[in-house]
Amino acid sequence: MIAESRIPEVSAVSFDGALQWFAKMQCRDLLFHPDDDPADIVIIQNGERMFQNRETEEVRFVLNELFSALGDGVYEAAYPIMMNACGIRLDA
């Protein structure tokens, strides 16, 4: 039996698709900085890896697609989601 992945699919390889993907990751408590290797991310409370091996590969694949298409625009898409996760309200 194959378990359903916790990693959401990218709706589109675009700025809006990246923004939505990071938002979905936040809703699933899986948000991280795009420069971090998903294999190295641990849950602070228990020290366990955040992503299983299969999930790590899925996240790397998504990020490779986004960086190939958007370059540094990936950071711009992730930024408002990261700030929201930190409780920082951005001005409109």
HSE-CB for 69 with a 13 A CA cutoff? 16
Measured in degrees and rounded to the nearest 5, phi and psi for residue 51 equal: -115, 140
pLDDT in tens, 73-85: 999 999 999 999 9
Cα separation, 25 vs 2, in Å, equals: 21
Q: Please give the pLDDT value at position 55.
A: 97
Look up the pTM and report it.
Answer: 0.90
Handedness of CA 74, 21, 55, 82 (dihedral sign): positive
**Could you state, in order of their start, the residue ranges of all structural domains in the chain?**
18-85
Q: How far apart are alpha carbons 43 and 28 in whole angstroms?
A: 13
Residue range 13-66, pLDDT digits in tens: 999 999 999 999 999 999 999 999 999 999 999 999 999 999 999 999 999 999
Taking the C-alpha atoms of residue 70 and residue 53, their distance in angstroms, rounded to an integer, is 26
For the cut 60, the answer to whether the pLDDT of residue 1 exceeds it is no
